[in-house]
Amino acid sequence: MKYCSECGQPVEQRIPEGDNRHRYVCVSCDTIHYQNPRIVAGTVPVWEGRILLCRRAIEPRYGYWTLPAGFMENAETTVEAAERETREEALANVQIEGLFSIIDVPHINQVHMFYRATLIDGQFGAGEESLESRLFAVDDIPWDELSFPTVRKTLELFLDDMKTQTYRLHQKDIRRPMAQHG
């Protein structure tokens, strides 16, 4: 950030009085510009025991499979964001069954939230951000072609819970691997 969105003057990074982190602060009007993590909301949509995945038509990870998910918009709840992303990416309407996973990804300043969901009518397709969407049986999930670690982790947890039909809320962290020395 170079300029203040309030007055257009330059900003500098410093720790504001009463704070403990560096923030962008306007040198003219003293507006503090906070930068906080972004929320990604999505679903684990199921129909007759199979899981709906979408093949990405956008970067990053073009051509890889993902759960329908995306960045939350202003003025919507996480449930609304998850439902909207599922409609946009998979042309599917879902009934939300409950929050399933919250995965913190601090090295990219994101929090990923996935909801258990059931397709309302079994209908789905490929939205603008998807090359295709497909229902996968548990044994047919394309593990080597999954888009993101949060998708993999959520699916692993979901399949574990699916075995016992006891779904609980999972909270995990995915951190950047530390560099190997020597």
Q: What is the pLDDT of residue 145?
A: 98
- Does the structure show a pLDDT above 70 at 178? no
Q: How far is CA 96 from CA 6, 79, 81, 100, 120, in A?
A: 39, 8, 11, 10, 10
Percent of the chain with pLDDT over 90: 96
- Can you name the residues that pair with 13 across neighbouring β-strands? 24
Q: How confident is the model at residue 182 (pLDDT cuts 50, 70, 90)?
A: very low
Instruction: Tell me the pLDDT tens digit for each residue of 43-91.
Output: 999 999 999 999 999 999 999 999 999 999 999 999 999 999 999 999 9
Q: What is the pLDDT of residue 176?
A: 83
Q: Which domains does the chain have, with CATH numbers?
A: 1-35 (2.20.70.10), 38-173 (3.90.79.10)
45, 96 in Cβ contact below 8 A? no
Query: What DSSP letter does each residue of 24-42 carry, written as one string?
Result: EEETTT--EE---PEEEEE
Q: What is the pLDDT of residue 80?
A: 98
Enumerate helices (H) and strands (E) in the chain, giving the number of each.
2, 11
Please give the model's pTM, rounded to 2 decimal places.
0.90
